[in-house]
Amino acid sequence: MTTQNLLVELLVEELPPKALKKLGDAFAQSVWAGLADAQLIEPTGDGSSHSTYQAYASPRRLAVWIKDVKSQAADKPMAHKLMPVNVGLTADGQATPALLKKLNALGVDTTDPHNVVSQLQRMSDGKADVLYHNSMAKGASLQQGLQSALETALAKLPIPKVMQYQLHQQCDMPGWSTVSFVRPAHGLIALHGDRVMDVSVLGLKAGNTTQGHRFEASQHPVKIAQADEYEDSMAQHGAVIASFEQRSLAMVQALRAQAKQLGCRLEVEPLGLNDAQALEALRHNELVQEVTALVERPTVMVCQFEEEFLQVPMECLTLTMKANQKYFPLVKADGQLSHRFLIVSNINPADPQAVIGGNERVVRPRLADAKFFYDQDRKKSLESRVAGLDKVVYHNQLGTQGERMMRVCAIAQAVARLLVQAGWTTSLNDVDALVAHSVRAARLAKTDLLTDMVGEFPELQGVMGRYYALNDGEDALVSEAIADHYRPRFAGDDLPRNDVGLVVAMADKLETLVGMFGIGNLPTGDKDPFALRRHALGVTRMLLDKGLAVHLRALLECAAAAFPAKVATEVDIGKLETFFQERLINLLETEGKPLTHVMAVLAVDSADGWSQIKSRLAAVAEFANLPQSQALAAANKRISNILKKVDQPIADRVDTTKLIEPAEQELHQQLLTIAPVAHACLASGDYTAHLKTLAGLRDAVDQFFNDVMVNAEDTAIKHNRWALLKQLQSHMNQVADISRLAQ
């Protein structure tokens, strides 16, 4: 039984670039898993496999190299359950006809029934004694296992869209057959060491040759003599970097080096990272991944456009270059866009000028269109476009964008006043100014949807609104708010930059949520066409990160008030609150907060809303690490269970004359001593100190439950002990419901 490394490559026509990485990884993993299932990969002592694999993916190929693959799987013992003993054997132990028939079906030689019976095993299945026949099943050959693994891998590929094509058959019955795959396949390699495996898929029989780069390969075809030579042979003779990761790394390094040589940086490169971090971030950039999937061996070239185009906002230019042409814009040291840009070519000619000139000619009309749209849009003010919103349908049950704009203005006004009333200190130092700026920004926020630039590039909505507002002479706070009212657009995105933007962003998201809930247009499963989860998460982040001490219900009610009665009356505010709380819990869990801590904090209805949740969670985390925490949590849970059963009002004050047991007297005295200190910590916002102070009650609480019968026979004493426990519970559960920490 020999072990060799295995190579499989499927040569196809150009694969869809946005799906290439996923296709390559899925193909490699699935082939490896299929061989592992067939036990053609040697397991270690703990049952896992020590075989590794390397995935390859280029525009024209999917491949996998797998280490240490057997030519034949080991035989394995098989126990076939036959039938109950009393059915298979006669009273004198002879085989019944039913047993012989079953054995014959399994291929067992029954010419000597007595000998066969002696080899059967008797075991109980829990109900009766059963006969088993033990045999050795022959292990799968590599040819069998690989054939099955390939068929399964191709069937399970996450193909975005299947196409059908005709394949001419070269066999005893020549003709045409229809094949379904992501792209037409033209070649198959299957090498176990240097041996070609007898497998076939998609009408292709495996061999040991493939095609390299269409124009730059030094050999046609490229012969792969041995599985381990694949990567080197493709690079040396095929002019192809087969590994997606290696190709991506080589491209990013070349791009960064060329940008640095020009005194610039890549526009797609994140700021504030060291070289290693920047390199890693760039390799996972969407544009980098797509271009990696378009070239087999990247060559970076420098192009440029006329500097007059730099009068257009850089977002317009960079978007058209990246989205339409897959170019890499460059940014100068001062943060301004450079008139130079980088392209990644799939060829490396001796004289690159023809390639450079061709790309410069292609991008020029794109930039000219952007400049034309920008110049035309500035001829009309945003205010003049407001009336046009009445002609744009937002939703057939919620009216036009004009009607929606009026609702957002009303909600923004109400939200601004609510936040200030809740103690928010706005940078404008004037609630009327905040309201005026917020309403103005809300009025203009959607008008850029009617501009030519946003019509051509919807991704620029908000961004262009800011530029046009500044051009119209609008206040800088209003202009920034127009751009920022979409924030956060995705998980981890920045919040609005100024207070006006915060108010309008919150109002816009609340309007969407209340409106959609009001007409019953809710997300289901993974379908959320109006991004309601993202909107709720955005509002949640603003409340948490900005420390806004306003209750969510108040915000939802002020948003509902902006809608017509037929919508407002249908909004289930409680259901919306639950929807928000689910987003909050998911967010906090994503940040690493234990669910038990989160639920403990959320169980307490805080006067400051969600603004102090993170501080409270930090305090609970420290409290949970104290040696007293579990005992107090368990005691708190016990108190909750006792008081839950009380079906009458409990006194707010404790009658000290009815404290007859030393343990209850001590607990009351400890409460009188510790509670004021804990309350002072709570009032100052030091939640950690508050809980740590209360931890000092542990001994007194333990002694109380050891020595005192709460539900005493004397009614007055029993009621007084309820009052004592109610006070204790009230003091302990002001930051979080401590009972939820009990294990």
Quick check: is 607 in a domain? no
Residue range of the domain that includes 35:
3-73+141-236
Best CA proximity match to 623, nearest among 594, 645, 651, 650:
594
Of 211, 173, 394, the residue nearest 296 (C-alpha):
211
* 95 and 41 in a common domain: no
Q: Whole-prediction pTM value? A: 0.81
Q: Domain check: are 205 and 323 in the same one?
A: no
Q: Of 95, 117, 137, which residue is a domain's last?
A: 137
Residue where one domain finishes, among candidates 574, 592, 610 = 592
In sequence order, what are the residues at sequence separation of 6 or more whose Cβ sits closer than 8 angstroms to the Cβ of residue 95? Answer: 88, 89, 103, 110, 113, 116, 117
Task: Please report the pLDDT score of residue 45 as a whole number.
Answer: 46
Q: Please spell the DSSP secondary structure of 69-130, one letter per residue.
A: EESBPPPEEEEEEEEEHHHHB-TTSPBPHHHHHHHHHTT---SSHHHHHHH-EEEE-SSSEE
Q: Please check whether residue 265 is in contact with residue 337, taking contact to mean a CB–CB distance below 8 angstroms.
A: no
Instruction: Specify if 232 maps to a domain.
Output: yes
- Say if residue 214 is in the same domain as residue 265: no
Q: What is the pLDDT of residues 394-448, one digit of tens each?
A: 999 999 999 999 999 999 999 999 999 988 988 887 899 999 999 999 999 999 9
**Which class for 657: exposed (0-12), middle (13-18), buried (19 or more C-beta within 10 A)?**
exposed
If you ran DSSP here, which 8-state letter would residue 570 be given?
A: T
Are 490 and 551 within one domain? yes
Which residues, 6+ apart, have CB-to-CB distance to 409 below 8 Å?
A: 439, 442, 443
**Whole-number Å distance between alpha carbons of 423 and 684:** 15
Structural domain count, the chain: 5
On whether the CB atoms of residues 666 and 703 are closer than 8 A, the answer is yes
Residue 186 exposed, middle or buried by CB count within 10 Å (0-12, 13-18, 19+): middle
498 and 543 assigned to the same domain: yes
What is the C-alpha to C-alpha distance for residues 73 and 448, in angstroms, rounded to an integer?
Answer: 66
Looking at the fold, whether 674 and 729 belong to one and the same domain comes out as yes
In a domain, 85, yes or no: yes
- Of 247, 250, 287, 292, nearest in space to 268 by CA: 287
pLDDT at 109: 79
**CATH classification of the domain holding 729:** 1.10.730.10
Residue 606 within a domain: no
Do 42 and 188 lie in one domain? The reply is yes
- Do residues 198 and 67 share a domain? yes
**Does residue 577 share a domain with residue 472?**
yes
| pLDDT number for residue 608 | 83
In a domain, 448, yes or no: yes
Residue type, position 362, single letter: V
Which residue carries 């993993």 as its tokens?
29
Residue 569 domain-assigned (yes or no)? yes
Task: Classify residue 524 by its DSSP letter.
Answer: B
Co-location of 169 and 312 in the same domain:
no
- Same-domain status, 16 and 145: yes
End of a domain among 377, 400, 430? 377
**Ranges in the chain, pLDDT < 70:** 1, 43-51, 136-137, 168-176
Q: Which of 251, 252, 213 is nearest to 234 (CA)?
A: 213
Same structural domain for residues 266 and 228? Answer: no
Note whether 49 and 55 are within 8 A (CB).
Answer: no
Residue 173 maps to a domain: yes
User: Quick one: pLDDT at residue 189?
Assistant: 96
For residue 542, tell me if it sits in a domain. Answer: yes
